[in-house]
Structure 1
Amino acid sequence: MTGARSTSGGPASGDGQPEQTEHGMTRRQLVRHAGWFGGAVVLTVAGGEVISHVAHDHDSAAAASAARTAADPNALRFVQVSDSHIGFTGPANTDVTGSFTEAITQINSLGFRPDFVMHTGDLTHLSTPEQFDQVKQMLTAARTDRVFTVPGEHDSVSDNGRAYRQAFGRNTSGDGWYSFDTHGVHFLALVNTLSLEKLGHLGVDQIAFVRRDLAAVKSDTPVVVFSHIPLFAMYPKWGWSTDDAMQVIALLRRFSSVTCLNGHVHQLFTKTEGNITFHSATTTAYPLPKPGQGPAPTPQVLPAGRLKDALGIRTVDYRVGGQALAVKDVRLA
């Protein structure tokens, strides 16, 4: 990893159906959010609310917001990529290296240089040193000053994350968690993939780290949290949740603006709880089914020519001193 200062030892670098579902969302919300799968969605996070719409080329509001951010030399702009699964072989994507390369090319074609790129886990598929080295070399092609990562469960196959930490964990704490500040925003990068039985898990040591870290942060500071597995109960039957996340959520309640960005589920999904908004990202490798469609989240084979519709990257803009984080998901297609 490369980069700037870290504050806590982090790296420098109406359908008639019942409304309530088992995982805390209404069926109407579930249908609406699942409909975003593979699409470009713009979300403005302000005052704990999310205003969302599918992005169109002629969307004047989105264009105006982007123009204002681009014109602000102090604006923060970063990119999230996720679930590259380098080393995967299968019909869902016969060339994950090629699609990850296309994602990096897309980063380099955004029309601005991101302040940093964050990869939210499952960098590799089998966590071999060779796969980690390949991802690390590929990420050097991204035109950015800093690259950050958090591990996915595929990055700790059989070794409790040791190979991941050797490749990407320099100057992190514990099992690879850390924090940093830039452009007036406080960032937390968490690890919830190492104590898996069914759900994600943070653990007492990491929660204590978060408590100490946030104690020094003013409540009007925007906070962004990165993790691989969702911190909200998206679909616990598939392990799409973190069993002890509410302890961290409680610590985040005092902040006026909190945005949590995760990977793992390979599709776009959003949820708002008070002042906290959660956004799941899509993948650069292969799609997974929507929550509850099928017995398990297995790689999905799409019709010929449709794979890139389900793959993409995410850009996030923040104007220093403003009230909003603008999140845009863009397909590789």
Structure 2
Amino acid sequence: METISQASSGNLPIELVFLIVKYAAEPTFAQPDQYEAKNPYSTARTLCLVSRAVRRIALPEMLHTVLLGFHNVTAFVHALSMQKAYAQKNPGLCLAYTRHIRNIWIGKFCVGPELIPEHSSFGTSVPESAIDLFAPVLLAAPSLAIDFSSMDLLTCCVDHAWTRMSKDIDRECLPPPWSTKTLTISGMVITPWRITALASRSAFLASVAHLIVLSHTESSSNLHVIRRAAGTIGPRDYNLPRWMTHAPWASFKKLETISLVFPHVKPPLDVFAFSTGMDLPVELLTFPASLVKGHRVPLEIKASTETGEGHISLNDVRVVVSDFQVHFCVFCHEWDKVWARIVG
């Protein structure tokens, strides 16, 4: 391994230098700045330029939780391609991403990247080599978050991994070719869920144990804040997303818990101030998945002790208010920051 000179490290023991580098390389997801203004990975990326030894410490820290807007998925695949080239020509620079990524976020689909297959709704072609690189990394992460508008990218990777399993054996007797246990869904959720169309996709949903639901639209989140501020819903009542009534719950065969995330609002609240932007904590509500797997999915969580088909009692829900705040306004919701703090 490349050594770090004593002069550059202030004559500190090398073990202590490595600990400092590791700590400094941790992404600052708790930063008050928006990620567009200050990249949370900026320190780690700078450290990777110091030396090969520092890079091997900093890069795994940077990879623990990966935030990808859809526009930079292609750049990430390019990085994977570089690692493949390093493995063949310069093994000292190669790092297996799948060993270090624990959480990965895929943001909202905005433009047609080169990753989506021809048969998808995006209508663009994809080199098989790109999916060969991306699918194993995406599906190796135990925690995966994806905007519903980008769901075709996930289904493409799932189908790819499934077809790579031998057709001569009973697939149901083997572990699935993915490690996803926690699935987070954000964005506008529509019906039908195309991810249930094939056996491979249903098998993917069947392996999910925990589902996290971020507000499915900005207007929905805004409406929750306004209703809570106006007192039209109780201080401990919550409306569940409407799409939950037509979600394919039968496919979530191993689902144990569902978590919902809401801005934490304590009246009185200046609605005008919220419209221009303010920092608020978030509430994480978690309840057993069995409560939504009946013939009729509840649409409310209510503080009353009454039970019924129309709502879930708050007595059956675990509520945690965050010790951090994120920026909310009418047109800006930092759900990627919320997710990174929850799973990190």
Q: TM-score scaled to structure 2, two decimals?
A: 0.34
Q: TM-score scaled to structure 1, two decimals?
A: 0.35
Higher strand share: 1
Larger C-alpha radius of gyration, 1 or 2? 2
